[in-house]
Structure 1
Amino acid sequence: MTTGKPRPLISVDSHVVEPKDLWLKRLPQRFQHQAPQVQSTDKGDFFVVPNTGMSPKPVGTEGAMINTKINSVITKPTGYRFEDQRPGAYDPAARLEDQDSQGILAEVVYPGWLIVHSIPDFELKVACVRAYNDWLFEEFCSYNPDRLIGAVALPVGPGPIEPAIEEARRWAERGAKTFLLPQAVPGMAWGDDHWEPLWAVLEEIGLPVGFHQAAGQVAMFNDKTTPGVFWTTAVGNKISLGWVFMQLVYGAVPERHPNLRFILVEGGIGWIAFQLNTMDHLFTDHHRWTIPELAMKPSDYFNRNFWATFEDDRPGILTLPMLDEKRLMWAGDYPHTEGNFPYSQEQVAHDFQGIDESVISAITHDNAIDLFGLSVPRLVKA
């Protein structure tokens, strides 16, 4: 750690590792034969969803392995047992201790097992998402709701939109601060008419809506022919948040719903300046025949309706002169291996070299307070 008093930080993208028996305990009886669970084998512990055709996923890849150096060598997992996870991944008391060690005052908490959004049976998916939300808020975030800010997962897919609307209303009434949608639903763009009732309700509720990379499936990057398929998919997942932005803007969603607030979660920020410049250029040259007709440049929608998060993006920081810093937010991505723990302070110092102190405070602290309405004092007066 750095010496002296740590910089106050708010992480807008952190995760849990769900308990082994979360769905076994909370799913209705009729879904028990398909309940997601952890199974132990001689090769390690795996999350499995029985009777669905989904491939097992190693538990250890969900996190809590510690970085040895910033931007350098990473300690690989020594085992894939659930018990190898850092306790703060699933124990809220241990999580707060780890927050304190990093100067982190609060975290927005997303699922660890994001592929719950990929469950093919829609009714099962709805039941699993509801069970996850109940556990997250009743057993994890309730320990300290001012510092553990749960993102309510909304069940969407090739099925009716009503379950997502019902879940959004249910948790808005219970004081939730933000929602989670997958980055993609195969075969369904976010500008499709199918989603219009959901956008109308979410605009009415008024809470920000995050799209998290790697949540759901991204067919355009599901490349089975390229060597290193995991890496091409991992990079593609991040890049595709720019695709989410295009689907929403070119689908005229923020045009029709000007009060919606969207967050592009864990995709970094280095791509934003280039993409906005390119989209604005095309708008200027071709707007007379674009369908649907847009009233503003794409960058105007970004600067009104969108936020983006990053955990390690020095190149993106160097594009700040071309961006509105109020649209950017820092994240620790605890407990994942690509996150900053236990070097959050050092990573921030590295990424923000030469940046004005008020801008650092906005991106690492104040913007999150303003967007989520957190009970934490701002560092800089608004």
Structure 2
Amino acid sequence: MEMNDLILVSVDDHVIEPPTLFDRHLPAKYRDQAPRMHTTKNGTEGQDSWIYDGKVLPNIALNAVVGRPPEEYGVEPAAYSQIRKGAWDIASRIEDMNVNGVLGSICFPTFPQFAGVLFIGSKDPAAAKAIVSAYNDWHIHEWAGYAPGRMIPLAIMPLWDIDACVAEAKRVAALGVRTITFPDVPAAKGLPSIHSGYWDPLWAVCEDHRIVVSIHIGSGMSAPHVSSESPIDSWIVTMPMSIANATSDWLFSPIFKKFPNLKVALSEGGIGWIPYFLERADFTYKHHSAWTNANFGELLPSELFFKNFITCFIDDAFGLANTRFLNDNMITWECDYPHSDTVWPNCPEALWKTIQHLPENDIHKITHLNAMREFSYDPFAILGRENCTVGALRAQALHVDTAPRAGLGGANPARADGKPVTSGDVMKMFA
């Protein structure tokens, strides 16, 4: 097997929503309440901002710096003109996937936030429900529907209303959706906790329709900045592992006793930290359950984890060197386009360095077969397997320009004094 024989399915990418998002799918009576794009002049540059419920949402791109040189990875683009077109235009996205050798992709929201929590607390809940449905219809029909076999559609939920969640989950399931995005810690967003039983009707729908619950890092509880003076590097290092707290909460929750076939994906969580996490979970259960009353029945926490949790990584040499401590039937890969952690357009090269030591069957499972099974995704039936490899896709993209583009503009936290960029420097851009 060679690198060009890889078949890559990314279970975590992102879409920068286009200004036309709500043009076609929102009922006319709610059009005036829809999020809308507003462009202002900031000096000589234009700044694009979404406006919703009377509030300006200044950050349209959330670190969409793909295609820029490394010294600009910290820039926060402020306008569509400062973002690579593949971030928000589906035709260009498919070309950027081809040149990167990526077959399939799950794309998380940006301006509604990773789990759609923007719409919690909207002034008009009925309008907000319609907006959520319109977002999903756009994602299903225009984004994922543009190129059959290339996108795995993902839906957001009207999280403030469990009955509406159930109805929307059933509706999008009928349209082929097999994953929803959900806050990793809903209580952090003022919602009922996963221990309350409140979400059980939604989990029942997800289990019945084989819908994966994708919990993205930072979707509920953000990775903490230790201090405003801390180097931003320290936050970047621990960001994927920040999902460990939420993972433990889900693992020790009653959810999987009630819904034993429900699957949860730890989106952008990485895998290298998981072996020790599971060792600690098993130790805690054996050592403390006599007084905590934790009860996993005949299973250990690690065994339940292996059965119900899908793990995801971008670049994780340690994790791939230690798959014997993981369930390689539940490991998946991700690209994270268009964020600064992506190594686009060189994902195959980076992955091949760390995965080529594994048996060919294991490589296939991790790069695409696990994702295809868990997300009910069958691109081979549409495209033919021979057209899905890195080599075949890149052969279609010889015309795509991947040269880094510098100086496109945007807020830049880089310091002229040469001192380390701090958490405070970065947080100012999102204030």
Q: Residues of 2 paired with 1:197 and 1:231: CA distance?
A: 41
Q: Which has the higher contact order (CA 8 A, sep 6+)?
A: 2
Aligned partner of 1:113: which letter? F
Question: For residues 357-368 of structure 1, what are the structure 2 equivalents within 5 Å?
Answer: 357-368=360-371
Paired residues, number:
369
Corresponding residue number in structure 2 for 1:22: 21
**CA offsets, 1:213-268, max 9 Å, x none?**
232x416x455854359767666653332222222221121122111111110111
Q: For structure 1, list consecutive stretches of 5 or more residues without a partner in the other structure.
A: none
Matched-pair contact (CA < 8 Å) for 1:223–1:229: no
Aligned to 1:85: 83
Deviates more, 1:295-304 or 1:198-207: 198-207
Aligned residue for 1:126?
Answer: 129
Given the superposition, is the C-alpha separation of residues 205 and 130 from structure 1 closer, same or farther in structure 2, using an over 3 Å criterion?
A: same
Letter in 1 for 2:295: E
Cα 1:361–1:277, aligned 2, differ >3 Å: closer, same or farther? same
**Structure number, greater radius of gyration:** 2
SS of equivalent to 1:5: helix
Gaps spanning 5+ residues in structure 2: where? 387-431
Rounded to whole Å, the distance in 1 between the matches of 2:54 and 2:221 is 19
Query: For 1:180-238, what per-residue CA distance to the aligned partner results, in whole angstroms no more than 9, with x for missing partners?
Result: 112232244322221122212221222222111232x416x455854359767666653
Could you list the per-position Cα deviations for residues 247-295 of structure 1 after superposition, in whole angstroms to 9, with x for gaps in the alignment?
A: 2221121122111111110111122111111000111112233335221
Distance in structure 1 (CA, Å) of the matches to 2:52 and 2:155: 25
Partner of 1:269: 271
Q: C-alpha displacement at 1:309, in angstroms?
A: 0.8
What residue is the counterpart of 2:107 in the other structure?
109
CA shift in 2, pair 1:208/1:79, >3 Å: closer
1:153 equivalent in alignment to 2:156: yes
* Alignment match, 2:180: 179
C-alpha deviation, 1:31, in angstroms: 6.9
Deviations 1:25-63 (A, max 9, x none): 65554573562534334165343444465x733334342
Map 1:186-335 onto structure 2 (within 5 A).
Answer: 186=188, 187=190, 188-215=192-219, 217-218=220-221, 221=223, 223=225, 225-228=227-230, 238-295=240-297, 296-335=299-338
Please tell me whether the aligned partners of residues 34 and 52 of structure 1 are also in contact (alpha carbons under 8 angstroms): no
CA RMSD, Structure 1 to Structure 2 (Å): 3.0
Aligned to 2:429: none
* Aligned residues of 2:63 and 2:77 also touching (Cα < 8 A): no
- Partners of 1:99 and 1:74 in 2: how far apart? 22
Is the contact made by 1:10 and 1:107 (CA closer than 8 Å) also made in structure 2?
yes
Which residue of the partner structure matches residue 424 of structure 2?
Answer: none
Query: Partner residue of 2:64?
Result: 63
Q: Distance in 1 between matches of 2:254 and 2:358?
A: 35
Distance 2:313 2:167 in 1: 30
Q: Which amino acid aligns with 1:12?
A: V
Task: Give the fraction of aligned pairs with identical amino acids, expressed as a percent.
Answer: 27
1:58 partner SS? coil
Report the Cα distance in structure 1 between the residues aligned to 2:210 and 2:52, rounded to whole angstroms. 37
CA distance in 2, matches of 1:81, 1:245: 35
CA distance in 2 between partners of 1:78 and 1:251 (Å): 37
Deviates more, 1:108-117 or 1:357-366: 108-117
Give the Å deviation of 1:160: 2.6
Distance in structure 1 (CA, Å) of the matches to 2:226 and 2:39: 27
Counterpart of 2:407?
none
Pair 254,89 (structure 1): closer, same or farther in 2 beyond 3 Å: same
Aligned 8 A contact 1:303 1:327 in 2: yes
Residues of 2 paired with 1:253 and 1:4: CA distance? 40
Using the TM superposition, give the Cα deviation of residue 87 of structure 1 relative to its aligned residue in structure 2, in angstroms: 2.1
